Structure 1
């Protein structure tokens, strides 16, 4: 009987044998001991938790540990066993007491059971609520944009319902940034490929431009702009801006050269606009609104053809987003 009836070459025979060996290993993987697992685990430099330091973050410890265990392909029972090796000091004592208190022959200790019990002990509800409150009140303040971004990402894990979508995540990130920088970067959210990472880079770049602007460095405060000198008359003119004034009386409006009486502009607050199902469009020429109190507000976002019902009458309006909190909607005179 011929040894090689198909007439295969030596290379084809070796390839066939190698494929057969791989199939056998795939169907019957070698059994690894817990000692082998522990050795692989420690080589990945997992974090340690003591439970005795105020600087330790229990949630961060669990999240980082879980990523390593998933990468190893550990089972749920192996995850719980390996995680216990990273508990030291107070946490180690708690783990021993917790395991000893369990009924012999009961349900095996899985990862979910270990994680739930661990967080209940070292990260109770009061601590979670404090983290959520810290996230809600997070502001750029004196931090750099990079420091603010890192802290935002770290705290957002405790308030996932507030950042459940990409738009909510980006909007919340910009809430902690005030002034012209926020106005500049909210328009960037309209790009289809924009996400939080790209937005953070955009904010950092825009922050440098706003800070380094000669006009911002030269102004001590307020909204006044320096008059152009004769030497700079030939320089490029700044972009034109629409102006809308909310003055106290009609007589005062008619005397102003900058006001068109009978304006049809309509406005909406950013808070109410969050509930809209349409995305805003960016105006090419930003609008500057001057209030009776002498404040100037700049806006460049408009929601087109929004349906509105007033006293049973339906109509459509183009609502310009205005950063004020004293009203919900202002409808134009038409």
Structure 2
């Protein structure tokens, strides 16, 4: 309870932008019951100006000595390392994680250790889509995980719609009059010629076979692309990319020009800032992601403005969960504008 109270108070400090020298006075004014009696004793011993003499960190040390046991600290440390995300959404899990992190200074003071611990506790479907070595800050890792969580939700909704459609189609087919008889004839009674008979079962199977072939042909013609989730440091060292900060729809964005990417992409966390309507690609795009896995995408933000040295260029951006960069500009834009990576390195590198 004492740890939760401190966490809640520090959240209030951030919200109210409380000055450091007023934190102890403000915090202790919220005491009630046993805590209030303890604080009155402290004032009686140290004087009424005691809150002005100690910092908030010094106050917490004294407070925890009296209201938090070592067994509670050990319990919270164990919870930090063993409590997985499970069914919690990412915001709830992050709150749980941060609350318990304060009792493990070895993680607080080491950003990479904190990232690795958080990554290891994520749900498997989120964790397997993240390459942890690409992240240097906890904030960037959390943002990427949020993007993936949103993406998974969209995929789930799309799958549910597809299953609902397929179920409805099966019901309609089972109720079709073609099921009532194997053969039909439209010949008139008493006619001299025997009309041709049609096997509806065979005809339906043939139509289903053709539909499968058509789907395979469409998927075979779908363009492929790949999106590198490089870090800023990796981009600086690569000879195949150029990176920098440019205005995209008048918003500063970390942009990477990548000759190894077939198409251009925008991070899903950055996409809402474009203030553009998401359109549909002419054909699905298969994008290579981590561990040789691919993802099929269908959306695109068309005709976004890319400002390079006060010259405006149009670029179509496909939303994808990405690492540190906001926008990746690929060969679709580079070839259309006859841009050369080596020349751009001399200009912006």
Whether TM exceeds 0.5 here: the answer is: no
More strand by share: 2
TM-score by length of structure 1 reads 0.42
Kindly indicate whether structure 1 or structure 2 has the higher relative contact order, using CA contacts under 8 Å at least 6 residues apart. Answer: 2
More helix by share: 2
